[in-house]
Amino acid sequence: MRRFSLASLLSEAVGGHQGWGRQWRAPEPKPSYDVVIVGGGGHGLATAYYLATVHGITNVAVVEKGWIGGGNTGRNTTIIRSNYLYDESAHLYEHALKLWEGLSQELNYNVMFSQRGVLMLAHNIHDIQSFKRHVYANRLNGIDNEWLSAEECKAFCPPLNISRDARYPVLGGALQRRAGTARHDAVAWGYARGADARGVDILQNCEVTGVRRDASGAAIGVETTRGFIGAKRVGVVAAGNTSRVMDMAGVRMPLESYPLQALVSEPVKPVFPCVVMSNAVHAYISQSDKGELVIGAGTDQYTSYSQQGGLHITTHTLDAICEIFPQFTRMRMLRSWGGIVDVTPDRSPIIGRTPVQNLFVNCGWGTGGFKATPGSGHVFAHTLATGEPHPINAPFTLDRIRTGRLIDEAAAAAVAH
């Protein structure tokens, strides 16, 4: 792997950048691998990377039906935080956040992780109770999160309207300073480059059309548009398409796939210093390094694989944004798009074994998967390598829907992810 650095960049600049090679190869599929990962998004690529680096398992393929990072990895609003309420979620997302903090150096790829702080606004007394519950729980879990008064919120985020006359006045907020954003595409590319350098095959334009099982019922590989690919273990990390892939193995999932929309404004000079989320009015906003305001909307109410939602969802989001930031009505929406998010009954992910031998699944991240990318890949790699869950993902079983041990952050707090 050609190392990226200012020195290598400068030396290439002299030669017109002719010397840069591919960041990852475009190999033909081998007949079989130790592990086949279905889904070349951030989570799948991170899984491959950690299989190679942590577990020494390099005979791995990542199978992607389109281009890597083209699903929710490249369609989200890049918010990263770990201030979750329950121990299970807090440990999972904090594990991820700690990996984020060294990720650019680890991957030798600048993923532009920007710890600009995520401020969640409280608009009513219920929000205050809920956010303080989070702040205290986070403190005891060693996760930074602090309560700010409305005036402190304004000081941290000057564009904020804290007028008492607003329809939903800002009563305060919970701030995680270590939280922030990252460059979503770079995460996929960085993991791909790192995994590829260690021998992982990244197979793009390779759609899985079936899961082959032997007489005992165990998974032995996947049928793809590029032929059968054998595997000792198969890990499905297919986000919105998980139900379809798992159905190929005869496993019905507690998942529903919804459209989730987001939009950006035209780029402007720096105006927005952090990430702001408001659950009461359903809005979240930040400004990208390029200068665009990045705004997340909610899901549509019906399941869909169309990657397209209704205009009323985005307009409602902008209603909320302009309620908190009235000066932004003259900004313009430049681009809007949709992703497909797979949602579980408790809106927490499922990471682990399935009823089919040698078939593992990592899904159900709903609207909040990007922030978990490194942690998700890290613990799923452990699961695939050892056949057993890592202690961090042990609670996130498929079986919890049967036992009732749900991890329902949203119900606990009415907090969007």
Partner 1 sequence: MAQPFRLPSGGRVDRATPIRFTFDGRTIEGFAGDTVASALLANGVHLVGRSFKYHRPRGILTHGSDEPSALLQVDRGPGKIDPNNRATVVEARNGLATTSLNRWPSLGFDVGAVNDLLSPVFVAGFYYKTFMWPRSFWDKVYEPVIRAAAGLGVAPQVPDADAYANRHAHCDVLVVGGGPAGLAAALAAAKTGKRVILADEQPEFGGSLLHETGASIDGQSAEAWRAAAIEELDGYESVTLLPRTTAFGYYNHNHVALTERVTDHRESPAKGAPRERLWQVRAAEVVLATGAHERPLVFADNDRPGVMLAESVRVFINRYGVAPGRRIVFVTSGASAYAAAADAKAAGLEVVMVDLRPERDCASEAADLRLMGVEVLTGQTVIGTKGRKRVAGLVVAPCANGTVGARRVIACDCVGMSGGWTPAVHLFSQSRGKLAYDEGRDAFLPGVSAQAERSAGAAAGVYDLASCLATGFAAGAEAAGATETRAFAASPTRIGFTPVRDLPTDADPAKVRAFVDFQNDVTAKDLKLAMREGFESIEHVKRYTTTGMATDQGKTSNMNALGIVSKALNRPLPAIGTTTFRPPYTPVTFGALVGPARDALFDPIRATPIHEWAAEHGAAFENVALWRRAWYFAKPGEDMHAAVVRECRAVREGVGLFDASTLGKIEVVGPDAAEFMNRMYVNPWTKLGVGRCRYGLMLKEDGYILDDGVVARMAEDRFHVTTTTGGAPRVMNHMEDYLQTEWPDLDVFLTSTTEQWAVIAVQGPKARDVIAPLVSGIDLSNEAFPHMSVREGAICGAPCRLFRVSFTGDLGYEINVPADYGRAVWEAVFAAGEPYGITPYGTETMHVLRAEKGYIIVGQETDGTVTPDDVGLAGMIAKAKKDFVGKRSLARPDVVASGRKQLVGLATETASLVLDEGAQIVADPNQPIPMKMLGHVTSSYFSANCGRSIALALVADGRALMGRTLHVTTPTGFAPATVCDPVFFDAEGGRIHA
Partner 2 sequence: MLLIDCPFCGTRPETEFRCGGEAHIARPADPSALDDGAWAEHLFVRSNPRGLHAERWVHAHGCGRWFNAVRDTFTDRFVETYKAGEQPSHPIDDARA
CA distance 81 to 116: 11
User: For partner 2, which is the closer residue by CB, 329 or 403?
Assistant: 403
| Nearest CA among 206, 175, 172, 263 for reference residue 44 | 206
CA distance 277 to 153: 12
| Contact call for residues 306 and 300 (beta carbons, < 8 A) | no
Please give the residues from 299 up to 358 whose contact with partner 1 meets the rule CB under 8 A.
306, 308, 310-311, 314-315, 318-323, 326-337, 345
Per CB under 8 A, 5 contacts partner 2? no
Q: Provide the 3-class DSSP secondary structure of residue 247.
A: helix
Any idea which residue has 């303080």 for tokens?
132
Per CB under 8 A, 1 contacts partner 1? no
Q: Taking phi first (over 0 means left), then psi (-120 to 50 degrees means alpha), and beta for anything else, what does residue 382 get?
A: alpha
| Contact call for residues 24 and 30 (beta carbons, < 8 A) | no
Per CB under 8 A, 26 contacts partner 1? yes
Tokens describing residue 305: 């694989």
CA distance 121 to 128: 9
User: For partner 2, which is the closer residue by CB, 161 or 304?
Assistant: 304
Per CB under 8 A, 247 contacts partner 2? yes
| Contact call for residues 292 and 343 (beta carbons, < 8 A) | no
Stretch that binds partner 1, among 33-41, 44-52, 128-136, 377-385 (CB under 8 A): 128-136
Choose among partner 2, partner 1, none what residue 335 binds, the Cβ cut-off being 5 to 8 Å by kind.
Answer: partner 1
Per CB under 8 A, 267 contacts partner 1? yes
Any idea which residue has 């990471």 for tokens?
351
Choose among partner 1, partner 2, none what residue 262 binds, the Cβ cut-off being 5 to 8 Å by kind.
Answer: none
Choose which of 2, 226, 244, 282 interacts with partner 2 (CB under 8 A): 244
Please give the residues from 298 up to 317 whose contact with partner 2 meets the rule CB under 8 A.
301-306, 308, 310-312
**CA dihedral for 109, 112, 117, 120, sign (positive or negative):** negative
Q: How far is the CB of 368 from partner 2 (least distance, A)?
A: 19
Q: What are phi and psi of 81, to 5 degrees?
A: -160, 170
The mark string for 111-150 relative to partner 2 (x by CB under 8 A, - otherwise) is ----------------------------------------
Q: How far is the CB of 247 from partner 2 (least distance, A)?
A: 4
Per CB under 8 A, 367 contacts partner 2? no
Tokens describing residue 381: 């790699």
Any idea which residue has 């942690």 for tokens?
375
Q: How far is the CB of 26 from partner 1 (least distance, A)?
A: 7
Half-sphere exposure of 98 (CA within 13 A, CB side): 9
Choose among partner 2, partner 1, none what residue 216 binds, the Cβ cut-off being 5 to 8 Å by kind.
Answer: none
Choose among partner 1, partner 2, none what residue 215 binds, the Cβ cut-off being 5 to 8 Å by kind.
Answer: none
Per CB under 8 A, 252 contacts partner 1? no
Residues near partner 2 (CB under 8 A) are 241, 243-244, 246-248, 252-257, 301-306, 308, 310-312, 344-345, 401-403
